[in-house]
Structure formats: structure tokens, C-alpha cells
Structure 1
Amino acid sequence: MATAIPPNRVLTSRHDAELAQEVLTKLGEPDGYLSVGSSRVEAQNVPAEVRRLIEHVLHSVAAGATVTISAVPAELTTSAAASLLGVSRPTLMKLIHGGQLATHKVGAHHRLLASDLHDFLLRRQRRERATFDELRDLLED
């Protein structure tokens, strides 16, 4: 029996990896850019965040990895938010009750905005980097 490949998953070949590496090399040049156009429409540069995403996919393809893409809804349940943050739901609830994450209620249930989770992750990453820098400075002394 044949196994169907989900539409959000891309299996790559060696040839795909080589092409992805070529594109990444061109994008890495000082005058490298990524644009989209057609024979009827003038090419337009891709927005910076989309370019970053495409570059990430290209790096994965160049490494021979299978790429899976999924979308995150604008509003998340606490279970989905906990999964995205890599924490348990009880830990997420502590963050919510501690005021570290904003929520709104739908009936009796908390909902979180994906943009708030993104901001939280950026703040957490900055704190972790600052802590790492402090530790490194202490070890160098």
C-alpha cells in the first residue's frame, strides 16, 4: 500500500539540495535579493520576514532535510500555546496568572494571541542571552 505524503511536507532530492545551496550562495552575496514576478507583472522584492522563512527552508533543503510547514492560528488555546512554548499547560497557567502572558477569555476558557506568544518568546530569548553573557563574563574573569 502506498503512503501518501501530506501536502505540507516536502521530500527533497540531492538535486534539490544542490539548487537550494546555489540560491543561498546568491542570496548571501552583497547584492543578493529575493523577488517574485511574472511575465505580466514586474518583479517585487519579497518582504523581509518571508525572505527569512524562505532562507530557512532553503538551508534545510540544502542539508537534505525533509521540510514540513504549518501555520499558527492568530488565537490559541492554552494547550496549543503550551505546546508552542515547549512547556506544560500548568506552567503556562502560572505564566498567565503571574502576568507574564496576556490572555482573554472565551466563556470560561483562556485564549492567547499568537503575537503575544511571539513577543514572550523574544523577551525570554533576550533574557537567556543576557544571562549567558553574564555567565561568560564571570568565567572569563
Structure 2
Amino acid sequence: MDTLQRDDRATVSVSPREIEQARNVREFLGDRESPPAVTVETDVDRHLTMPPELAALVLRLVDLVGRGCTVTIGSIPNEVTTTVAAGMLGISRPSLMKLVREGKIPAHKVGSHTRLHSKDVLAFRRAQLEHQSKAFDELRALEEELGLRD
């Protein structure tokens, strides 16, 4: 496993052996709605069971590694500037400010500066992606209905 650390971001690339090990773990666990308990043992008498949220994160990483993905881990502050939020959404800052004025994304003032909570920006992004996916599915259904699709 090679790790490239830069500021608050680490990129980890894994070996073929680690990919195979991750696939074996993923197969062993199968498809589950809730993550299984993950226990870490350091000594014979010393072990810790991870909280479910952390176990879900670790198992998500194992899943990605098992697929051969390069995993990049970074931190996002709880509160972001409008420039950072616009970058997270892939839109211009003026477009973001329009969404804020329209009340589509909550924001607040810190002095004279507008700030957004990262969780709100990520929730808006998720909703955007779901909306786009739904629109794409509707377009494909219309193509099939009109006989435009092979």
C-alpha cells in the first residue's frame, strides 16, 4: 500500500494482493443492509468493537479497494465559504448565490460573509444527482416508448 499525503488529503493506492484480500472480505460479508460488528484485537485480552458508523465507513473502503479503486480520503470542514461550496457543486459562485437567495441552499452570515454548512451543500449535491438520474431514466423510457432506442 502506497500513500501520498498532502495537506488534509491522503491518496492510497493498493497492491493486487490487497485488492484480492478486500474482495475476499467483501464476499465473506455478503450484501447486508446494516454493517456487521467489526472488532479490532491488539492483544489476546485487548479488543474494541467499532461503532456502527465507523464500521460502515471501513467496510465501504474495503468494498472500494476490492473493486480495484484508488481511494482518496480528505476532510471537509463543517462550514465552507461560498467559493468552496460552488466548487463542491461544480457551479459558479454567482449561481450558488442565486440558489442561496432563492432559499434552495441554506446559508448564514458570519459578519458580512456568507457561509454554508458542508452537510447542506452535500445534501443539495445528492439531491441534484438524484434529480438528474431520475430525468435520465425518464428520457430513456421515452426513447423506448418512441422506438428511438436499439
Q: Corresponding residue for 1:46?
A: 52
User: In the alignment, which of 18, 30, 35 is matched to residue 38 of structure 2?
Assistant: 35
Q: 1:140 and 2:144 equivalent?
A: yes
Q: CA RMSD in A?
A: 2.7
Q: TM-score, normalised by structure 1?
A: 0.77
Q: Which of the residues 109, 116, 120 maps onto 1:112?
A: 116
Residue 6 of structure 1 corresponds to: 5
What is the rounded CA distance, in whole Å, between the counterparts of 2:85 and 2:32 in structure 1? 38
Query: Shift of the alpha carbon at 1:64?
Result: 3.7
* Corresponding residue to 1:25 among 24, 27, 30: 27
TM-score by length of 2: 0.73
How far off its partner does 1:75 sit? 0.7
Instruction: Report the count of equivalent residues.
Output: 136
Q: Tell me whether 7-16 or 54-63 shows the greater mean CA deviation.
A: 54-63
Matched residue type, 1:28:
G
Extract unaligned runs of 5+ from structure 1.
none
Q: Which runs of 5 or more residues in structure 2 are unaligned?
A: 146-150
2:104 paired residue number:
100
2:113 is matched by which residue type in structure 1?
H
- C-alpha distance 109-10 of structure 1, shift in aligned 2 (>3 A): same
> How far apart, CA to CA, are the structure 1 residues paired with 2:135 and 2:15?
41
Q: Tell me, yes or no, if the aligned pair for 1:20 and 1:59 is still in contact at 8 Å.
A: yes
